[in-house]
Structure 1
Amino acid sequence: MKTSEILKESAGDLWNKYTRHEFLQKMKDGSLDINTFRYYLIQDSKYVEIMLKSLLTASNKGPIDKVSNILSIIFETRDKGMEVHSWLLSKIGITHEEISKTGFSVSNYAYTRHLYYYATLGWDYFLASWSPCMWGYYEIGTYVKDSPNELYSKWAEFYASDEYKKRVDAILDALDSIQYREELKIPFIDSVKFEIKFWESALNRVETDIQ
């Protein structure tokens, strides 16, 4: 089995809880409260900023061919992602100033620091901690894209797109080039758990923000 397959299998039922969470079921049927989605988008914007910093930190420790492939594909497809993101922010009335002034939710703070920590440990560890997010969102996008709600279907279409799948394929290719080691399960499974917490945080909207 490939390293990615072993890691995904090691997550067991947690993977399904992540990619078919109540938050996503509500997106799919169009019943998710718009303020819940608004909360999610703000926190996700903050997550992406730290995630990219973590990627750059880890990239200094990775093989040049795999790192270059991932970075080039992300930059090649960034316009489409930014276009969808900007459209959503505009539709919902979220400004960049509001995002910068909003604190991290407890779950988001812990998740982004988890990513950065593994980025400082090494490329292998970072890939194991990062791949659940990128890989899972492709499955999620495919699941949600036919939502009757225009906002949710537009959001999901990007993650279900060929452009986004190129990112996922490059990340999994890099992950599968690493020989499987038991210790890679810890960052992978913890990231799946953090993804579940991310959805729950948005649904509940009761967590204290960390500035």
Structure 2
Amino acid sequence: MNSDALKESVGELWEKYVRHDFVKRMKDGSLPLENFRYYLIQDSKYVRVMLKSLLNASSKGPIDQVSKIILKVFQTRDKGSEVHSFLLSQLKVNEREIQDTGYSLVNYAYTRHLFYHSNLGWKQFLVAWAPCMWGYMEVGKYVLGSPNPLYNKWAEFYSSQDYRTRVEAILEALNSVDLGEGLFKVFMDSVNFEIMFWDSSMRMDPTPFHGD
């Protein structure tokens, strides 16, 4: 299947992504809350561009695939938003702070990468998007049970059946498209962006880039 071939093509990079030190420290509860707070703000900004990219790419895809994925994403969005809002409130992050905070260089580049491929076509977007959605399901299952209640709450959503239905719909669509050689690089680029996203959150990089 396409998904298996893509995952195999990145080799050890996948493990570096889903078992990054940021993830391991969420699992054992040792990740400083300030790093998680930074991550949540950047992730909030990423998700907005991700949804914009999904809607942009949707006009270029088969209606059955597009409608199924959008339905699954938006059916479970309230639950995901509820968890995200709870975490933000616990860390005293409000909407104004998210708006006023810029993108890190990594996040700025990653979101542009995603939107660029949404302009190229449906299958290009699916390949660029899949590492985020698929990897977070694996990360969620791994982090579940963290002694830190906030990290465990985060993991509960990404390890849930609701989230799994999103991923299954995306992988089903991904497995039905024709993969060209260039798309393997797109997938690898996204995996690398995910690794760099964790790296950036560990360092708490500057956030000077504004504008969606």
TM-score range, shorter chain: over 0.9
Q: TM-score, normalised by structure 1?
A: 0.98
1:187 corresponding residue in structure 2: 186
1:5 corresponding residue in structure 2: 4
Structure 1 unmatched ranges of 5 or more: none
Task: Tell me the amino acid that sits aligned with residue 22 of structure 2.
Answer: F
What displacement does 1:180 show?
A: 2.7
1:202 corresponding residue in structure 2: 201
1:134 corresponding residue in structure 2: 133
Question: What secondary structure does 2:76 align onto?
Answer: helix
1:22 corresponding residue in structure 2: 21
2:144 corresponding residue in structure 1: 145
Distance 1:43 1:74 in 2: 20
Runs of 4+ in 1 over 3 A off after TM superposition: none
Task: Tell me the amino acid that sits aligned with residue 126 of structure 2.
Answer: L
1:49 corresponding residue in structure 2: 48
Distance 1:113 1:43 in 2: 14
What displacement does 1:182 show?
A: 1.5
1:122 lines up with 2:142 in the alignment: no
Distance 1:52 1:80 in 2: 16
What displacement does 1:187 show?
A: 1.1
Question: What secondary structure does 1:104 align onto?
Answer: coil
Question: What secondary structure does 2:31 align onto?
Answer: coil
Percent identity, aligned pairs only, is: 59
Task: Tell me the amino acid that sits aligned with residue 129 of structure 1.
Answer: A
Question: What secondary structure does 1:147 align onto?
Answer: coil
Distance 1:58 1:85 in 2: 25
1:106 corresponding residue in structure 2: 105
The total of aligned residue pairs comes to 210
What displacement does 1:205 show?
A: 1.2
Distance 1:176 1:60 in 2: 19
1:164 lines up with 2:163 in the alignment: yes
